[in-house]
Amino acid sequence: MNPETLRQQVRKQPFEAFRVYLSDGSHYDIRHPEMIAITQAASTLGSKWLNEASIYVTIEPCSMCAGALVLARIKNIVYGAKDPKTGACGSVINIVNHKKLNHRIKVEKGILEKECGYLLKEFFRKKRAKQQ
């Protein structure tokens, strides 16, 4: 699959990786949607470099995911809600545009911010309700 085809698929289903993560019920911290997306895209494209790829996520990537995105050489990150506790695209730290790293990522933030915030709040509300 060429990068443009992959990009078109992501545009059609921007929250798909997030839904996969939420619906599988796992509690593995390393299985963030970004990590799943990187693995699946690299496998599909047959390359560890995702130079022309964009990733669309509901919340600003954490430092683990931001570092993985830099190493995968993702071209663009588009996210909705800022993460004031662990955001690594500028909110807390800026790994994706750190001057000492060999790759920089273009970041577009605040896309569907209200809707993304709602999805996250609902997810955690349901999770807390299950635990009680």
* Sign of the C-alpha dihedral computed for residues 44, 27, 33 and 23 taken in this order: positive
What are the respective helix, strand and coil percentages of the chain, to the nearest 5? 45, 15, 40
Give me 76's structure tokens: 């663009």
Respond yes or no: is residue 115 known to be catalytic.
Answer: no
Three-state secondary-structure class, residue 81: strand
CA dist list (Å): 124 to 6, 38, 93, 99, 127: 30, 24, 24, 35, 5
Catalytic residue among 4, 16, 34, 113: 34
Among all chains, which residue has been given the structure tokens 């929250």?
15
Q: How far is CA 77 from the centre of its chain?
A: 7
Please give the positions annotated as active site. 34
